[in-house]
Structure 1
């Protein structure tokens, strides 16, 4: 409990330091989201110093998500969203162009990225940068889909987009520097495990954020896709989503069992696999406790 409170305190103070929390209502909402708890759940064995690096990045990421979804001059405007996200890309490219560091959220990214570079290799930085850029591309694509009412036609098509729009891969990328390990991504079974853990986390998020997203007309949600592609009622789509989540859990167990059977699996890979499971399970429990996806009117949808 002491570590959780310590992490939550750092999380709040970092956000305030960069003026990311401006109003009393936002202050209360931020504390209710329990971002510090999330990091303690998904990286339980990481030192406090490195945990702070993770929470500061995720802190920034959640504010970007809110910026894209809620800012009046960006909301439902894919072109303006792309322009705003390109400014962050400039920072990740280690460029200092005029006007880029004028906003609080840009300065906050510069801070956390500068600290990340101190403990990582250029190879890792490039991989992480590319993962974040895929998240930016998915944000832009979702804005286009929302404006044109153009939805993916299958779970498989949706999953390919969602694996990037959920930004879950950034947490998977952080495993190596936070745990001080190195792994090879050439193992097909390991990559499948990564994808299915990603899907599980995103589908869980879709369930918990559904009420909030339906009120905003969001389309980046597995339940919305199931309704559209299968002509389901809302109840049928939710039930099918639960089946998909359970199926992913079975597939994850099968891949973990298969990977662990090989004597050639090194200790770093074992640590990486265990960390994937920590992130998946920790994310699930955080969703159950966090107030981030609550709505003002807590009414049943179905």
Structure 2
């Protein structure tokens, strides 16, 4: 069944675009790296090298060290080798138990690249090279956080594989929780720090509001990716997970209605992200301010790449994606979304007297209802 969706309208983006001046060189080097390590099948690799992944990394780290931008580009291509080659298009994507075993072995290589395992596996060889280069530019703590985030990503794709094997769709709350991790967005922040030559200290990085700001960025990036990738995914004839499809299934609404709701959700979270970052900058260290700036650049870089990469524009079957962004949100409400896994984000902004807002239990329970579901079904 082909799910019909006509046009993705311009979406709200309050951040300016930027790109590293060496983006063309980085893009070429990433294609060479993929060929050197044989990432994915020859067919998959030939597709990936046309997707301007080096340019994507150059947009995420426009002012970063060129070497680290190159690491990020190679790593993103490697992730697509796993996600496209094994999970979405390969047989492993429908065998969660077997996939877990394979990914656990890869994780061991990331933790301890000297282990005598997977010595002839191309993805393991590429991962060893990435780990070596990350260790060169990152601290012990940054390398450890990168490995931990890779574990989160692996766990989430196994969860997705279980749904793929059963042909089921999660509800919106479970999808949101999974999507924060299975987009591999949480694996990027250690590289953002490395790219700018600093390490955000635990007393700031592990504060609940700072962690929430990062999760909000992941949410926006992944919701945007779902908007841009829906056309491509819905025409493969294979199982796919996407917020538009989840909303369709959960609420019994059309793809167009689901698209409007997804845009409103990401707009509301993005407005909250901007307000929270402004609050955190007031008393944050220079390192924290740089970290928050990098999260903003990550969001905008993903947006610019998403509307321009052949990965999503699919010229053989053109997707009707926006050519620009809008300056205002469709939804700037300060009320939480009806998604329990993330509703606590709205509790983190201080009130005018400097205290954190509190909500009565009966108010919070009302947040669990999906917004405007009845109205959408009758529309």
Deviation at 1:150, TM superposition (A): 3.6
Q: How many residues align?
A: 297
- Structure 2, unpaired ranges of 5+: 1-19, 321-379
1:92 aligns with 2:110: yes
Match of 2:296 among 268, 277, 286: 277
Q: With the length of structure 2 as denominator, give the TM-score of the two structures.
A: 0.73
1:129 aligns with 2:150: no
Q: Provide the rounded CA distance (Å) in 1 between the counterparts of 2:99 and 2:41.
A: 21
Partner of 2:231: 211
What's the CA shift string for 1:154-210, capped at 9, x where partnerless? 2x3321111110000111221222212222223222222111111000001111111
Partner of 1:222: 243
Contact kept, 8 Å, 1:128 with 1:170, in 2: the verdict is yes
Q: With the length of structure 1 as denominator, give the TM-score of the two structures.
A: 0.90
Match of 1:47 among 65, 73, 78: 65
What's the CA shift string for 1:39-79, capped at 9, x where partnerless? 11010001212211221212211111112235543242222
Partner of 2:221: 201
Partner of 1:178: 195
What's the CA shift string for 1:274-294, capped at 9, x where partnerless? 000000001100001101134
Deviation at 1:227, TM superposition (A): 0.9
Q: Provide the rounded CA distance (Å) in 2 between the counterparts of 1:138 and 1:21.
A: 21
What's the CA shift string for 1:209-264, capped at 9, x where partnerless? 1122223443431111111111111111111111112112211111122122x2x3
| Map 1:81-120 → 2, pairs under 5 A | 81-94=99-112, 96-120=114-138
Deviation at 1:33, TM superposition (A): 0.5
Larger Rg: 2
Q: Provide the rounded CA distance (Å) in 2 between the counterparts of 1:256 and 1:207.
A: 25
Q: Relative to structure 1, is the Cα distance of residues 123 and 2 closer, same or farther in structure 2, using a 3 angstrom cutoff?
A: closer
Deviation at 1:6, TM superposition (A): 0.7
Partner of 2:258: 237
1:79 aligns with 2:87: no
Match of 2:166 among 143, 148, 160: 148
1:189 aligns with 2:215: no
Q: CA RMSD of the aligned region, Å?
A: 2.2
- Choose 88-97 or 243-252, whichever is displaced more: 88-97
Partner of 1:9: 28
What's the CA shift string for 1:89-139, capped at 9, x where partnerless? 120120555551211111011111112122323322222111101101111
